[in-house]
Structure formats: structure tokens, C-alpha cells
Amino acid sequence: MSFLSFLSIKKFNTLRLQSRIIFVCLGLLSVIALFTIILNFLGWFHSRKELVEKQNVLQSATTQLISGRFASRYNEVKSFATNPIYETMNENAITHVLNHYRNFQDIYDIILFVDKRGKFIAANSLGMGGSRINEDVLKEKTYENEDWFINVMESKTSDDPERKLMGTYVEDVQIDLISSIAYGVKKLGNSFSTAVKNSKGEIIGVLSVRANLIWMEGEIQSAFESIRKQGVNEMAIMVINKKGQIIVNYDPHSRGGSKEIVRDFREILNVNLANAGYEPAIHLITKKEGMGVFVNPLFEKKKDIVVYSLLKSKQILPTLGWGVITRILEEEAYRSVNNSFLETIFIIFIIFIISFVSLFLIAFSLGKKFIFVSETLGDSASQSEHTSLELDNSCNEVKKMTIDQSNSVNQTAAAMAEITSMITRTGELINESKAISDRANEKSVEGTILMDKMAEAIADIKSTNLELEKMEQMISVIINKASTINDIVSKTELLSLNASIESARAGEYGKGFSVVSEEVDSLAKISGNAAKDISVLLTESHIKVSQIIKITQERVNEGLQVSRRAVESFQRISLGITEIRDRTNGIYDGTNDQKVTVQSSAVSMDLMSNSVHKNSKEAEETSKIANEMRKQSKELFNVASEIQNLILGEGQRQFNNISVKNKEILRIIGKIK
């Protein structure tokens, strides 16, 4: 192996200089090109990793937003069911309340109340935008066979004690027939139903809220918008149910960039991705999560980069089994990276061609100049002998100059003595500056201590303000109690009225009871008026106390901010003074060093004087060296021969004796450099 390497090196040495330069430079360009290609591959892998990370962010955002909305829907229907208006079974009054709920949450298509036999009692009469819905079809229908009605009446609600979700029955996403017949068009959504109870805790009916799926679609749209701002426009989101059916498919890129939610009922609840063999859907219905590249049956069997996970959170029922799939077409994801890679290959090819031509021309030009220089080195050797004679004359001149240097050294020593005196005075002034900075630092520390005491006083005021906040809370409790008294008075008046009616029915036997009922009614009104007066006074007190707390809190915060800024200012002043003191110490040390240095310089001047005398002796030695230069000139001829071997290759030397002036040689060498 070593023998082959020796032969290769020997063969390389026989090449002309132009060829060697071209081979070496092309080798370096090849290494650079290979390194560039490797960097492009690394960029491709990094782009894929970054894309998956963005998909995970979109997955997480979608899960959080949908879970939060689901918990709101779950608990909201229970809040609606607590209204005592349902006990009246008055259709008009209940309809008015349900319309109010419907306007409060525009995502609800139908809010339906039926009695415990499944008979229609009331529903909202207004739909989206205030349009009226067809209530007659709802009134004609009976609901005792509906799943949501049966499960609520049998207390089989969708409960999860661990997630604190109790008392509401949830239906999965479906084409809601109740909402569809009321609006006359297909309605996609799911329902949240709960029992309505009277004041005794007895079930008197069921309240079913038919939620349009825009509550989920809107959150998906919001999550997508957040990731789109990071430059990812080709991504799509799908939500599937536990059967593998599509319930939401949000893909703005395939729809021309439109951000609107489009419900294609040819896909929604009609396409089962698991049955179609889409692996992410198959994994999700078996409770598995992951990522990878999969063939999409919806897009001409093209490959998707997919991240899929179950929609699970502490705010949503895991029994629903919903799954989220974020996907992007592989060809779209890597299009920019692939184009960049092809452009890089093309640029490298062009650079190779240009570099080869340029290197050939440069090497050819350099070869000609080196040949010319080698041929002129011979003439330069003869000139070296003449130079050695001139060097001998120069040594004599050096002897004369040493005498002048000796005089200069004596003058410099006198100047050094004057500088030493000035440095001593500077040290005295610096000591005075240090004393002044120490006194200023003491005053700054005193200011900081005073501001700390002021901050402690403000903290005491803040603790007093907390006591006022407790008083405000007590007033709020009293106001609630007064409200309870008003409710008792209202019920007492109602009981008095019922007693008067019953006494009237009793005739003569009920007259005594009638007098009692009138007195009770009178007392109830007096109590009611007194409770109202107390409530007004307490409300005014609550407002005034709140204002005092707010004003005090603002003043305390302002005081704290001012004291903090003052403390910070004193601290900065203290730091500045400390820095000045440190700088002063540094100057003081520096002047001492200068003094030592100047003193050392005086010693050095003495040594320099001795050196001048030695220079005279060295000049004599230089004269001897000039003689050695004559010998070196002979070797220049050998160097010229070696340069020609380097340029033309070994065995190709063509040495010509050409006489050229030294100035021309120097001009050519300068151009080569």
C-alpha cells in the first residue's frame, strides 16, 4: 500500500504546476459540494421534525379548546334547568325564558322542555338571527321513546365523578332530527339533556339542549388560525368518533384557502375512515396514538404526514372516544425543501464549470510568471556580491550614528526625573478624591435606610386595607341575607293570599282566619319594606367601602412604586460612588506603577548607553557576514533550477540564462504576491 502511495506521489510530482493546482482546487470544491449536499439533507430532516412539532402544537390547542367548550355545554344545561319557571308549566313564560337562553348562546339550535311523560311543554321559538322556527312540528311529536329522555328519567346520565361531570346525558354527534324538522334543513350537532326538578327535588320533566356542532368547529378554526400564523397553510384537521366516522373535516388548503367551515354530508358521518383502511383511524378506535406517513383514501391514495391522538382531557368524557387527526400532504410539506435541494445541485454544477475554467487560466498565468522569475534568479545572485560590498560601507556609517545616540540617551534621563516629580503630585490629589467619595457613599447608605422605613410604613397601610376588604365581604354576606328575607316576605304574602281565599270559601267559619291572614299580610309588607330599606343601605355601604378600598390600594401601590424607585436610585448612586472609588484606587495604583516604571526607565537608559557601545562592535561583525553572502549567491542558481522542476515537472527543466535588471525582478515578485 505504501509502495503504491509512493508511486502516486512520484507521478503527481511529474505533473506541471498548472495541473497540480487544478487537481487540488477541484478536490477542495468536491469536498465543499459534498458538505453542502449533507447540509441540505440535514435541513430536510429538520423540516420534518419541525413540521411534526407544529402538528403536535395544533393537536394540543385543539384538544384544550374543544374540552373547555364541552365542559361549558355539559354544565350549562344544568344551570338552565334550575330556573323555577318550569314548575309553572306555562308554555309562553317558559318559551320566553328559552329564547333568552338561545340568544345568550347562539350555538343552540333547539332548547326543548318536556314533562315527565315525554309530552312537549315548550321550546325556543326563535332561531339564528331572530328567525322563527317551526314549533308546530315539535308540539305534535312525543318524546317518551327518545334515548335522551329515557336515560335521563332512569338517571342513566353520562357521569364521570373523577372529572366532576355529573347529571347530564350527552348524545354523540349526529344529524339531529329534532333540530332538522324544526328548521327544515339538515342540522349537525349533539345534545345535552338533564332532569328538571321542582322545589321538593322531584323530577317534573327533562330539558334537552340541541347544540349545533359549530361549538366544536369554531374552536378547531381558532386553533388552526394560531398555527397558520407560523407559516403552515397546508395542514388539515379531522375529528372522528369512536366508530371511525368523520364528524369534522377542516381543510382550507384543498378548498382554495377558504377559512370557512364547509360541511360536506357526503363525508360527515358518511365516510368511515377505519373501514376504508386509514391506519390512523384504525389506531384511534383501538385507543392508540402516534404519528407517521400514511396513504389517505380521501385524496387519490396520496401520502399524508399524520399525527393522531385521542381527544382526552379532565374536561371531557373519555367514553365519547373522539379522536383528532392533523395531516399534511407529504408532497406539499417537502416541496420547498426539494426545490431548494435541486437548486443547490444546479448551482454546484455551474460553480464546478466556472471554477475549472478560471483555475486553468489562473494556473497557466502563474506558471509563466514563475518560469520568468526562476530564470532571473541567476542574475540576482551576481548582484548579491555587489550588495555585500555596500553592506560593509554601511557598517562604518553605523559607528558614527552610535555617538549621536549616546547624546540622546543623556537628554532622555533628565526628562525622566521631571516625570517622576509630576507622578508624586498626582498621587496626593488621588488620595483627596478617595476621601470625598467615601463621605458621599455614607450619605447614599443613609438615604437607602430611610426609604426602607418608608416602605415598611406603606406595608402597614396595606394590611389595614385588607381589614377593610374583610368588612366589604361581611357587608356582601348581609346583603345576601337581606335578599333571603325578601324571598321569605314574598312567600308569606303568597301564603296570606291563599289563606284569604280559603277563608272566603269557608264563609262565616273562615272570618276569624281571614282577620289573621290580613294581619300576616300586613306584617309581611312591613317586613318587606324594612328589608328593602336595609338592602339599600347595605348596598350603599358596600359601594362606599369598595371605593375606599380601591382608592387606598391605588395610593399604596403608588407609594410602593415611588419608594422602590427611590431605593433603586440610591442603590445606583451607591454603586456609582463605589465604582468611582474603585477607579480612583486603580488610578492610584497606576500612578505608583508609572513611578516604578519611570524609575526603571532611568536604569534602562543607562543600559542603553552601554548598548550603543556594543553596536559599534556589532558593525564590525556585520562586515564579516557580508563575506558569507557571497557564498549564498551560488546557491541561488540551484534554487532557480528547483523552481523550474516545480513548474514544469521533474525531468522537464529548460533553464535559460537571461540577464534582467534587479528592478524588473522585484516588480514581477510583487505582482505574484
pLDDT single digits (tens) 468-527: 777 777 777 777 777 777 778 777 778 777 877 877 777 776 767 677 777 777 777 787
For the segment 548-567, the average pLDDT, to the nearest whole number, is 75
Q: Are 176 and 109 contacting, i.e. CB atoms less than 8 angstroms apart?
A: yes
pLDDT digits (tens, 9 = 90+) for 279-336: 999 999 999 999 888 887 776 667 888 999 999 889 999 999 999 999 887 776 666 5
CA angle 353, 355, 357 (to 5 degrees): 70
The three three-digit cell numbers of residue 256, written as one number? 382554495
Please tell me the distance from the alpha carbon of residue 538 to that of residue 530, in angstroms, as a whole number. Answer: 12
Band of the pLDDT at 587, cuts 50, 70, 90?
confident
**Per-residue confidence at 672, pLDDT binned at 50, 70, 90?**
very low
Per-residue pLDDT averaged across 561-585, rounded?
Answer: 76
Give the Cα-Cα-Cα angle 91, 98, 102 (nearest 5 degrees): 150
Instruction: Summarize the confidence of residues 114-141 as an average pLDDT.
Output: 90
* Per-residue pLDDT reduced to its tens digit, 436-466: 777 777 777 777 777 777 777 777 777 777 7
Cell 264563609 appears where? 507
Do residues 227 and 58 lie in contact, with contact meaning Cβ atoms separated by under 8 Å? Answer: yes
3-state secondary structure 413-457: HHHHHHHHHHHHHHHHHHHHHHHHHHHHHHHHHHHHHHHHHHHHH
pLDDT tier, 7 (very low <50, low <70, confident <90, very high otherwise): very low
Instruction: State how far the Cα of 664 lies from the Cα of 636, in Å rounded to an integer.
Output: 17
Please give the Cα distance from 514 to 516 (Å, whole number).
5
Q: What percent of the chain has pLDDT over 90?
A: 26
Specify the pLDDT at position 496.
74
Taking the C-alpha atoms of residue 479 and residue 476, their distance in angstroms, rounded to an integer, is 5
Most confident of 66-75, 259-268, 348-357, 531-540: 66-75
Phi then psi for residue 501, to 5 deg, are: -65, -45
Which residues neighbour 524 within 8 Å (Cβ) at sequence distance 6 or greater? 489, 492, 493, 496
402 pLDDT band (50/70/90 cuts)? low
- Each residue's pLDDT tens digit, 484-501: 777 787 777 787 778 778
User: How distant, in Å, are the alpha carbons of 462, 474, 547, 556 from that of 468?
Assistant: 10, 10, 11, 14
Which residues neighbour 62 within 8 Å (Cβ) at sequence distance 6 or greater? 219, 220, 223, 237, 311, 324, 326
Reference 285, options 236, 239, 238, 241; nearest CA is 241
Q: Mean of the pLDDT values across residues 417-431? A: 72
Reported as a pLDDT band with limits 50, 70 and 90, residue 656 is: very low
What integer best gives the mean pLDDT of the chain? 78
Over residues 62-73, the mean pLDDT reads 92
Compute the distance between CA of residue 547 and CA of residue 396 in angstroms, rounded to an integer: 103
Q: Which whole number is the average pLDDT over 158-175?
A: 94
Q: Provide the 3-class DSSP secondary structure of residue 156.
A: coil
Q: Give pLDDT tens digits for 176-192.
A: 999 999 999 999 999 99
Q: Is the pLDDT of residue 218 over 80?
A: yes
Give the pLDDT score at 14.
67
Identify residue 3 by its one-letter amino acid code. F
How far is the CA of 378 from the CAs of 381, 431, 627, 639, 645, in angstroms?
5, 70, 19, 9, 15
Residue of higher predicted confidence among 86 and 431: 86
Mean pLDDT in residue range 215-234:
80
Which residues, 6+ apart, have CB-to-CB distance to 289 below 8 Å?
283, 308, 309, 310
DSSP string computed for 52-90: HHHHHHHHHHHHHHHHHHHHHHHHHHHHHTT-GGGGGT-
Of the pLDDT bands very low, low, confident and very high (cuts 50, 70, 90), residue 6 is very low
CA atoms of 304 and 25, how far apart (whole Å)? 44
CATH of domain 53-333: 3.30.450.20
In the block, residue with C-alpha cell 385543539: 62
- Please give the single-letter amino acid code of residue 324: V
pLDDT in the model for residue 350: 84
Three cell numbers, residue 319: 367514553
**Is residue 104's pLDDT more than 80?**
yes
Whether the predicted pLDDT of 655 surpasses 70: no
pLDDT higher than 90, residue 139: yes
What mean pLDDT is predicted for residues 53-58? 79
On the question of pLDDT at 241 being above 90, the answer is yes
Q: Is 307 left (phi over 0), alpha (psi -120 to 50) or beta?
A: beta
pLDDT at 324: 94
Does the structure show a pLDDT above 90 at 581?
no
Q: What is the pLDDT, as a whole number, of residue 303?
A: 82
- CA 350 from chain centre, in angstroms, equals 40
Q: What is the band of 4 on the pLDDT scale with cuts at 50, 70, 90?
A: very low
In the structure grid, which three cell numbers stand for residue 598, read together? 519611570
Between 534 and 207, the higher pLDDT residue: 207
Task: Give domain limits for the chain.
Answer: 53-333, 359-648
Residue 270 and residue 382: Cα distance in Å, rounded? Answer: 102
Give me the mean pLDDT over the 586-614 stretch. 72
Please give the residue that has the higher pLDDT: either 219 or 654: 219
pLDDT(247) > 90 = yes
Looking at the predicted structure, is the pLDDT value of residue 5 above 90? no
Residue 659 has pLDDT above 50, yes or no: no
Bridge partner residues of 111 (DSSP): 209
Spatial strand order in the sheet of 236-240: 246-250, 236-240, 323-329, 302-310, 290-296
DSSP one-letter string for 109-132: EEEEEEETTS-EEEE--B-GGG-B
SS3 234: coil
> What are the strands, taking DSSP E only, across 283-440?
290-296, 302-310, 323-329
Cα 565 to the chain's mean position, in Å? 31
Residue 628, exposed/middle/buried by CB under 10 A (0-12, 13-18, 19+)? Answer: exposed
- Per-residue pLDDT, 154: 94
Question: Cα 399 to chain center, whole Å?
Answer: 76
